[in-house]
Amino acid sequence: MREIGIPHPRLPLPEPGQRDDPQAFLAWLSDAIPMVEHLGIREMCWEGEQLVWVLSLAPNLNDKGTGFGGGLTAQSTLLGWCWTTLWLREHGLARDVVVAEATQRFLAPVTGDYRMTCTPESAKGPDSLAAQLQSRGRGRISLIQQLWCGDTLCLEAHGNYAVLPVA
């Protein structure tokens, strides 16, 4: 059981240049952030530089029988946090990440199970983040999250994630 004000222990870093095992990371994430087990995340994988979640709609239904905007917003924000955290871990860095700014645009109702993707807003984003971390010990990256229900883009979110300096 998590205690308020007590940080959750970090997951050990993967071998240099390796990515985390997605299932092990999701298990850790569910322990670290208790609401994660209620978000309906069925699968997580990397497709190149894109982090992908496959999700069930059932835990996120609203009163109309479609996707609940607040839950979808939480998912998009967390997906960006995961992208940033996993990118750092792949580069041998165990650092704190926070969302600095987030916006969402709802384009269509979510009417079934869905897929969410997260990619850097700019192809140069990861290199820029690496340079910021090297020169200033902290940095930011802008990411785009998209929610697809079949071939329909239902939500597009933009997030700016800050990597905090080592305390």
Parse the chain into domains and list their residue ranges. 22-163
* Domain 22-163 in this protein, CATH class: alpha beta
Helix (H) or strand (E) segment spanning residue 165: none
DSSP-H helix ranges across 7-114: 22-32, 69-90
pLDDT of residue 1: 74
How many angstroms separate the CA atoms of 142 and 159, rounded? 6
How many angstroms separate the CA atoms of 92 and 157, rounded? 28
Residues 6 or more apart from 29 whose CB is under 8 A from it? 36, 82
| Per-residue pLDDT of the chain in tens (167 residues, 90 and over written 9) | 788 999 999 999 999 888 999 999 999 999 999 999 999 999 999 999 999 999 999 999 999 999 999 999 999 999 999 999 999 999 999 999 999 999 999 999 999 999 999 999 999 999 999 999 999 999 999 999 999 999 999 999 999 999 999 97
Question: In the 8-state DSSP scheme, what is residue 10?
Answer: P
pLDDT of residue 17: 81
Cβ 24 vs Cβ 89: under 8 Å: no
Question: In the 8-state DSSP scheme, what is residue 67?
Answer: B
pLDDT of residue 7: 92
SS (H, E, C) 88-115: HHHCCCCCCEEEEEEEEEECCCCCCCEE
